[in-house]
Amino acid sequence: MKILLTGGAGYIGSHTAVELIGLGYDVVIVDNLRNSSEKVLDRIEMISGKKPVFYKIDCCDRTALEQMFSKENIDAVIHFAGLKAVGESCSIPIEYYRNNIDSTLALLDVMKKNNVNNIIFSSSATVYGAPDTVPIKETAPVGRCTNPYGWTKYMNEVILTDAAKADPELSVVLLRYFNPVGAHKSGFIGESPSGIPNNLMPYITQVAVGKLKQLSIFGNDYNTHDGTGVRDYIHVVDLAKGHASAIEYAMKHKGTEVFNLGTSVGYSVLDIVKAFEEATGVKVPYRIAERRPGDIAECYSDAQKSKEILGWTAQYNLVDMCRDSWNWQRKNPNGYEG
Ligand code: NAD
Ligand code: UDP
């Protein structure tokens, strides 16, 4: 069975490629390398023994997509491709809307023409906005996004759901990821943010490796157990396995289904700093700073539905996440550019 990973050269896509190859799937990657490096393909091969077929294509380019689909016999698509930086999405919103929405529309058109009926979409817990209660179930209200990036995720969910309503053959799985961290245990692939990281774990690992001076903790006056923000961190390899389960599900069902991919556990920023220091033996200097605009106090999943229907649960714990993030950072201080 052949699976197309759009954005497959990126952080989550590359880990999913390794997982799928390990399960015997053929993997085709389409990526415009806007936020990734072609070197990841060799790294995937180093881990899995197989190099995915690669097309340097922009997913908004229908003609290029059509040519690719006519060469490859695709059975299912995982649509990772997208721009994902919240802050940047506020500065260049039109580019975010165009890239993240045009790519889905083009893909759906070309899939239909080629009779490819299964699509898994990378959505995000960001669609829940500030939740009324935690843990968050899939039935919680969505569409209270606070930035253009979040809106693109929400709008893509609507587009895909409508497409499946109109086409009885189409199977759509919306995966709402919580906070992916960690890396493959080999240290060959991992998250390689360009510039100064926005997310907590890559910021911590860059402080630990000496690239950044100290961590700023954005607020310690939230209504949480220690005042710092609480999130549901999930090991990227668990996330990758969730995609394999979602493919199996999509092949057997029609219509749209939505699943949280999280651990159902919330950790605070201070919990993460402490766990990182314990797991690695490396100190992380920090200071308490102002709250970051747009941040919420608590966000963590209820992942029971994924367990019951997909048969998937996260296996890795916080120590594993910290150890593997650090292993990747230590071995690749400059990401794929090093
Ligand atoms: P990433 O930036 O590492 O990977 C995305 C890939 O898509 C990159 O390789 C980029 O070059 C490619 N891309 C972007 N626009 C493209 C286009 N028009 N055509 C072809 N390729 C294109 O990001 P990631 O962390 O691996 O995230 C994958 C998906 O999961 C994204 O859609 C992201 O929004 C979503 N997501 C990520 C997180 C997270 O915290 N990492 C959380 C929730 C959802
Ligand atoms: N955070 C922080 N310092 C940083 C980056 C993040 O204190 O340099 C906090 C942030 O306020 C939030 C948590 O860490 O409470 C996770 O932030 P991240 O940006 O990784 O994920 P998101 O906010 O998108 O869930």
pLDDT digits (tens, 9 = 90+) for 239-270: 999 999 999 999 999 999 999 999 999 999 99
pLDDT (0 to 100) of residue 215 = 98
**Nearest ligand to residue 289 Cα:** 2
| Banded pLDDT at 337 (limits 50, 70, 90) | confident
Query: 281 exposed, middle or buried (CB, 10 Å; 0-12, 13-18, 19+)?
Result: exposed
For residue 294, is pLDDT > 90?
Answer: no
Joined tokens for residue 310: 């997909």
Q: Looking at residue 39, what is its pLDDT?
A: 97
Q: What is the pLDDT of residue 101?
A: 98
Q: Which residues line ligand 1 (CB under 6 A)?
A: 6-7, 9-13, 31-36, 58-60, 80-84, 99, 103, 122, 124, 177, 180
| Residues found in the chain | 338
Please state, rounded to an integer, the average pLDDT across all residues of the chain.
97
C-alpha 200 to ligand 2 mean position (Å): 5
Q: Angle at Cα 165 formed by Cα 162 and Cα 168, nearest 5°?
A: 140
pLDDT in tens, 84-128: 999 999 999 999 999 999 999 999 999 999 999 999 999 999 999
Q: Does the pLDDT of residue 338 top 80, yes or no? A: no
Q: How far is the CA of 214 from the centre of ligand 1 (A)?
A: 27
Measured by CA distance, the residue closest to atom 3 of ligand 2 is 217
Cβ of 179 less than 6 Å from ligand 2 = yes
| 61: pLDDT strictly greater than 90 | yes
What would the mean pLDDT of 146-161 be, rounded to a whole number? 97
Integer Cα distance of 265 and 275 in angstroms? 14
Position 254 scores a pLDDT of 96
Q: Is the CB of 296 under 6 A from ligand 2?
A: no
pLDDT at 183 over 90: yes
Share above pLDDT 90 across residues of the chain, in percent, rounded to a whole number: 97
Residue nearest to atom 3 of ligand 1 (CA): 10
Rg (CA), the chain: 19
The residue contributing the CA closest to ligand 2 atom 23 is: 295
Model's pTM, two decimal places?
0.99
Candidates 338, 39, 328; CA nearest to 191 is: 328
What's the confidence (pLDDT) of residue 194? 86
Q: In the annotation, is 149 catalytic?
A: yes
Q: Tokens representing 6?
A: 């759009």
**Mean per-residue pLDDT, 159-187:** 98
The single residue of 11, 25, 55, 149 carrying the catalytic annotation is: 149
Compute the distance from residue 292 Cα to the ligand 2 centre, in Å.
8
Residue range 269-280: average pLDDT? 98
Give tens-digit pLDDT for 210-221: 999 999 999 999
Q: Which atom of ligand 2 lies closest to the CA of 228?
A: 15
